[in-house]
Homo-oligomer: A and B are copies of this chain.
Amino acid sequence: MFVLVNLKAYPCDPVAVATAAANAADDSGVRIAVAPQAAHLEAVSETGVETWSQHVDPVEPGSQTGHTLAETVADAGAAGTLVNHSEYRVKLADLDGSVRAAERAGLETVVCANNPAQVGAAAALGPDAVAVEPPELIGTGTPVSQADPDIVEDAVAAAAAVDPAVDVFCGAGISTGEDLVAASDLGATGVLLASGVAKADDPRAALDDLVAPL
């Protein structure tokens, strides 16, 4: 299982969470990555944790102001990027462009989608993985694997029907090791987390709990 911790725009200390994640990954052997805001990428990657970007734009180096260039986030230490998070939905043509831009810069890609039909669509663009996150469960504390297990299984089937090489992650409400095991049982090979770790009093303890059953 791949555990990807999205720090969103939370007022947390990104370096503290990143350090906790780096240590939890080392001690458990579980792959754990942290996705801070662009301006924190360098500070986070210096902790040694696997670092991801929250977004990249479908642009090439050149006359672009205010955009997130794939090459630049790679240069700042990112190994991969989310695209099309439910808090940052993009046009289909731009999603294609962002996945191509990420590939160009050597970044892994996880495209978010909110139902199995969109998971199938995203898989057709050839990212490394697609993450299904029902928007109505994000931030609720109710894990998608429990509230709506069918959506995870349907997403796994939808992606497999389009391109078996595309992994399926799931997200929304995941915070315990039990949720992780449930997600894995449904066919997911990774999970997206956010507040459960980023807003925890003790991020390291939250991560240890999470990966304990693996």
Residues of A within 8 Å of B, CB-based: how many?
64
Q: Which of A69-77, A141-149, A178-186 lies at the binding interface?
A: A69-77
A38 to chain B, nearest CB (A): 4
Give A116's nearest chain B residue, CB to CB. Answer: B124
User: Contact partner of A38 among B9, B37, B121, CB < 8 A?
Assistant: B37
A65 adjacent to B88 (CB under 8 Å): yes
B114 adjacent to A124 (CB under 8 Å): no
B72 adjacent to A37 (CB under 8 Å): yes
What's the Cα separation between A64 and B114 when bound, in Å?
16
Q: A29 near B: Cβ within 8 Å? A: no
User: Contact partner of A64 among B8, B66, B121, CB < 8 A?
Assistant: B8
The CB with the most chain B CB atoms within 10 A, among A39, A62, A84, is that of A39
B126 adjacent to A124 (CB under 8 Å): no
A68-B39, A84-B92 known; A124-B120 Cβ under 8 A: yes
The CB with the most chain B CB atoms within 10 A, among A38, A61, A86, A91, is that of A38
Among all A-B residue pairs, the 6 with the closest Cβ atoms: A55-B66, A120-B124, A66-B88, A38-B38, A9-B64, A39-B76
